[in-house]
Amino acid sequence: AQRVTQPEKLLSVFKGAPVELKCNYSYSGSPELFWYVQYSRQRLQLLLRHISRESIKGFTADLNKGETSFHLKKPFAQEEDSAMYYCALSGLGDSNYQLIWGAGTKLIIKP
């Protein structure tokens, strides 16, 4: 079964500290993994996708197929990083491209 697990509902770190938001997935095949961010009262925005291997706003994520993980990392947290972060997986069925969502992690950056 396709499943995305974000084990932490809330993560609170101090400004300048490293951040790691965990994401594990279950999928039989080659998944497409994404991180979406939702700032307070704003729309969901794509933060990054594993296939592009870009670093957005200082965040990076590496797909580890052995551990079936796609953890989101940033070396130095900033206050404006406070938001909800969702890990998502794209199904690769015939025409099934819906995103399978993790439950989200609320990141709070303390000053």
Q: Which stretch binds other proteins (CB under 8 A): 17-25, 58-66, 72-80, 92-100?
A: 92-100
C-beta of 49 vs 71, nearer to other proteins: 49
> The tokens of 15 are what?
């400004």
Q: Which of 2, 8, 68, 101 binds other proteins (CB under 8 A)?
A: 101
Distances in whole angstroms, Cα of residue 35 to Cα of each of 13, 17, 19, 70, 111: 19, 20, 14, 9, 24
Cβ atoms 76, 12 nearer than 8 A: no
Q: Which residues bind other proteins (CB under 8 A)?
A: 31-32, 34, 36, 42-46, 49, 51, 86, 90, 92, 95-104
